[in-house]
Amino acid sequence: MNKKRVGIIGAGPSGLAQLRAFEAAKKKGEEVPEIVCFEKQSNWGGMWNYSWRTGVGKYGEPIHGSMYKYLWSNGPKECLEFSDYSFDEHFKKTISSYPPRPVLFDYIQGRIKKDNVRDYIRFDTTARWVSFDDSTKKFTLVLDDLKNNKTYTEEFDYLVVASGHFSTPNMPYFKGIENFPGNVIHAHDFRGADQYKDQNLLLIGSSYSAEDIGVQCYKHGAKSVTLSYRTNPIGVSWPEGIKEMPLVTHFEDDIAHFNNGETEKYDAVIMCTGYQHKFPFLPSKMRLKTKNNLYPDNLYKGVFFNELPQLIYLGMQDQYYTFNMFDTQAWMARDYMLGKIELPSKEERRADMDTWLKRNDDLGHGHDAVDFQSDYIKDIIKLSDYPAFNIDKVAVMFKEWLSDKEENILTYRDKTYRSVVTGTMAAEHHTEWMDEMDDSKERYLNEPEEEEPEEVKMNVRI
Ligand code: FAD
Ligand code: NA7
């Protein structure tokens, strides 16, 4: 009999989790299907694979990356640690709770390099279109080999969509913005705070991007930062130089008008207005249609597309948990594809989703939302052999993280947390985050040499 075939779109943390899940089964002697992962970039890591480019890449594909220079983890690393590959195992030393992007990228790669899964990935290959044949129950993928400028098709029994959902900007229009004389971009194209030094900046939005880009620009020398909110302000106690204002109504040249009647002049605008779930390679009936929230509708157990469970989506929820959630999803999805998990009827799946959707509708912010996602992970982790980790303790850490940010948005990254995987307490970083202008892995992992005292230097000169 022919082996079943699994196609994975995307080699970011979610797609890599799927590859790792199959490798784990293989190591236990289980027979696994033939797997091919398609990645439109030249390397793995998804968002964590930093791109200095904006707009399009060297083959004319839209740039996927939304991360920027000086990006540091925005939550404690202890909340995302792989439970089968600890930070201690990777770095062989104790590191702080909030590493910069290159350090987390290194960690992601460390686990996957242990297995020879790179061979499963076809880089520089974009999934262009998907169709499903109801009689053969197979997917046909139209793929573009970008390097060789060639289109070809392949058939799969299961399709895993791991293409991420923080890449296609949601870019609202505000009257008069077309005449704004300064720079107007979306957070997706923000590549670092340097260029905003000495500027008066307006950021529209009041979630993670607005918070972090605002703080980054403040840290790197912006003259002032205003965050404009539509529904709720972020509401932490901001330092002098950052403030929150209600929503912009319109612009007159470089002047923004706010809906409380106030006006202010700005040098640049950054839309921190979130992202669209965008799947240009999927026909409407297979496409997940959702806003960014903790329980997108039509995904049973958060991953199986209810109309067609052979179509699996990973990492499509808004995220408190990241790497460890993608893992629990990927392990469960693997066991379904291996025939070890049988799904209930479509109606039963609908009823299960409805229960979660109802709870999601009634959710408050903060702690409630953390508990919701923790319960979701508890619900699915029991379906596979993904190594258990103390989810309740991670939930407590998330809640402390929320309080740390409220207490001081500039210093929360100096706090340390204890790993639920190894029990190790994180080290304090050698430099306080507000004084740390270098986000390189080398600088992060090595204690900087102490500056010679001034009198020694003077002696040398004499
Ligand atoms: P992605 O990382 O987006 O990877 C998707 C992959 O699919 C990409 O490699 C892409 O090239 C590929 N792809 C897309 N379409 C196609 C196609 N048609 N054909 C082939 N390949 C395709 N999480 C944290 O835990 N901590 C943080 O501090 C943090 N900070 C963040 C900051 C920013 C600015 C953003 C945008 C996100 C941040 N996140 C953070 C969340 C982050 O999205 C996740 O950590 C993680 O990257 C999601 O993994 P993913 O694999 O689902 O998606
Ligand atoms: P989010 O978390 O989806 O937040 C989007 C924000 O944009 C949110 O505050 C929205 O306000 C706001 N928004 C959306 N549309 C508008 C309009 N039209 N006008 C004003 N404000 C608007 O996206 P982020 O980019 O912050 O975070 C995504 C990921 O990137 C996250 O995982 C981080 O780790 C990094 P609302 O509250 O809906 O009124």
CA dist., res. 82 & res. 77, Å (int): 10
Structural domains of the chain, ranges and CATH numbers in brackets: 5-167+275-403 (3.50.50.60), 171-271 (3.50.50.60)
Give the residue-averaged pLDDT of 14-41.
97
Between the CA of residue 3 and those of 7, 8, 10, 441, what are the distances in Å? 13, 16, 22, 42
Give the residue-averaged pLDDT of 75-103.
98
Q: For residue 62, how far is its CA from the centre of ligand 2 (angstroms)?
A: 21
CA dist., res. 50 & res. 72, Å (int): 13
Q: Which is it for strands 34-38 and 5-9: parallel, antiparallel or unpaired? A: parallel
> Which of the ligands is closest to the CA of residue 74?
1
Q: For residue 11, how far is its CA from the centre of ligand 1 (angstroms)?
A: 9
Amino acid at 34: E
Task: Look at residue 156 and tell me whether its pLDDT is greater than 90.
Answer: yes
Q: What pLDDT sits at residue 452?
A: 56
Give the residue-averaged pLDDT of 320-341.
98
Q: What pLDDT sits at residue 364?
A: 81
Kindly give the interhelix angle for 101-113 and 13-27, rounded to the nearest 10 degrees: 30
Report, in angstroms and rounded to the nearest whole number, the Rg of the chain calculated over CA atoms: 23
Q: What pLDDT sits at residue 108?
A: 98
Q: What pLDDT sits at residue 285?
A: 97
Task: Look at residue 118 and tell me whether its pLDDT is greater than 70.
Answer: yes
Query: Ligand 1: which atom is nearest the Cα of residue 315?
Result: 52
Q: For residue 446, how far is its CA from the centre of ligand 1 (angstroms)?
A: 28
Structure tokens at 257: 């008008």
For the chain, helix (H) and strand (E) counts, in that order, are 10, 20
CA dist., res. 173 & res. 243, Å (int): 22
CA dist., res. 409 & res. 219, Å (int): 11
Query: Ligand 1: which atom is nearest the Cα of residue 319?
Result: 41
Task: Look at residue 401 and tell me whether its pLDDT is greater than 70.
Answer: yes
Q: Which is it for strands 224-228 and 125-133: parallel, antiparallel or unpaired? A: unpaired
| Ligand 1 in reach of 163 Cβ (< 6 A) | yes
> Which of 65, 61, 58 shows the shortest CA–CA distance to 192?
65
| Percent of the chain's residues with pLDDT above 70 | 97
For Cα atoms 458, 459, 460, give the angle at the middle one, nearest 5 degrees.
90
Q: What pLDDT sits at residue 457?
A: 47
pLDDT tens, position by position, 258-275: 999 999 999 999 999 999
| Ligand 1 in reach of 75 Cβ (< 6 A) | yes
Give the residue-averaged pLDDT of 386-395.
98
Task: Look at residue 462 and tell me whether its pLDDT is greater than 50.
Answer: no
Q: Which is it for strands 138-145 and 125-133: parallel, antiparallel or unpaired? A: antiparallel
Q: What pLDDT sits at residue 1?
A: 54
Which residue among 16, 20, 39, 47 is best mutated to probe the pocket of ligand 1, counting the most ligand atoms within 8 A of its Cβ? 47
Residues 441/101, Cβ–Cβ less than 8 Å:
no
CA dist., res. 404 & res. 257, Å (int): 33
Average pLDDT, the chain: 96
